[in-house]
Structure 1
Amino acid sequence: MACRRENGWKAARKFGAVTGIRTFAGRYQPGVMTNPALEQYTEAKLVMVVDAWPDRNIVMDAVGMGIPVIALCDTNNQANDIDVVVPCNNKGKKSLGLAFWILAREYLKARGAIKGDEEFVEKLEDFTEE
C-alpha cells in the first residue's frame, strides 16, 4: 500500500499497523517490487494506492509485473491502469482517515481476525489528523 499524499500518511501508517499490510507512507522507492537486490524488496500480490497520480511509480511497477491495483479515486482522477476504483475524497485528512478506518475494519472481518464491527477496537480518531 502506498500513500504519497501527506494528508494520508497518518491514516496509511495506522492502516498498515492494524492490518499488517506493508505500507509506504511518503516516497515509494522505485524498484522495491522489481529489484530483488534491494534490501526493501517485496513480492506483492496486490497494490493499493491513495492517489494514482502521485503514486504512479508503484502503479507502473505493479502494471509491469501484472499485479492488480486498487486506487482511492476522486472525481478528478484518471483510472488508467487501475483495476479497482474505490470512489472517495482522497484529498482530505479526515476523509482519508475514515476511508482507511472502514477498509481496516472490513479487511479484518474478511480475514476472520474479528467477527463483527463491535470487535474492532480501533478508534476513528486514531486514523484521522487533528
Structure 2
Amino acid sequence: MLIVGRRENSWKGLRLLQKLTGINVITGRYPPGILTNSQLTTFIEPKVLLVTDPWPDKNAVADARRIGIPVVALCDTNNQSNDIDLVVPCNNKGKKSIGMFFYLISREYLAKRGNKDFDNKPQDFMDE
C-alpha cells in the first residue's frame, strides 16, 4: 500500500502512521515515475494507492491508473471522483478530521495485526 498526501494538514498523521505501521507514505510533492519507472531507485510496486485528496494528488492517481492498481481517495463534497475506485467521504481538508482518519486507520491496522499496545491518542495525529 502507498499513501500520498500533498496537503500539509495530513503530514503529521501520515508520518506517525508510517512510523507505527511501516506503510509506505509520501508527504508533499509526489515524485514522478515512482510507480511507473522501474529503473528508479525509489521505484515501488504497491497493490493499492490511497490519496488524501484527488486534486492535489492527481499525478499519483494518474500513475496508478497507468499501472492498473486500485485508487482509494478521501473525498470532500467538492472533489471529483473520476479515476477513483473507492471514495471515502470525509472532510479531507480539516486538520482534525484528517488526523482522526489516520488515527483510526493506524489503530485498526495494528489491531488486525495483533498489536494490543496502541497507546496513541487522536491528537498525536493532528497538527496544532
* Category of TM-score, reference length = shorter chain: over 0.9
Counterpart of 1:13 in structure 2: which amino acid?
R
Tell me, in whole angstroms, the C-alpha distance in 1 between the residues paired with 2:31 and 2:96: 26
Superposition pairs for residues 50-89 of structure 1, below 5 Å?
A: 50-89=52-91
Alpha-carbon distance in structure 2 between the residues aligned to 1:12 and 1:6: 10
> Residue by residue, what CA displacement relative to the aligned partner does 1:14-59 show, whole Å, maximum 9, x if unpaired?
1111111110000110100111111111111010000001001110
Aligned to 1:114: 115
What are the Cα deviations for residues 64-116 of structure 1, in whole angstroms up to 9, with x where unaligned? 11101111111111111111111110001111100110111122223x2335x
Question: Given residue 81 of structure 1, which amino acid in structure 2 is its aligned partner?
Answer: D
Cα distance in 1 for residues equivalent to 2:56 and 2:75: 12
- Specify every segment of 5 or more residues in structure 2 that has no aligned partner in the other structure, as ranges: none
Match in the other structure for 2:93: 91
* Structure 1 runs, 4 residues or longer, greater than 2 Å off: 112-115
Q: Output the amino acid matched with 1:69.
A: V
Gaps of 5+ in 1: none
CA RMSD of aligned residues (A): 1.1
Query: How far apart are residue 61 of structure 1 and its match?
Result: 0.5
CA distance in 1, matches of 2:57, 2:94: 16
Q: Which residue of 2 aligns with 1:44?
A: 46
Question: In percent, how many aligned pairs have the same letter?
Answer: 54
Distance across 1 between alignment mates of 2:102 and 2:66: 26
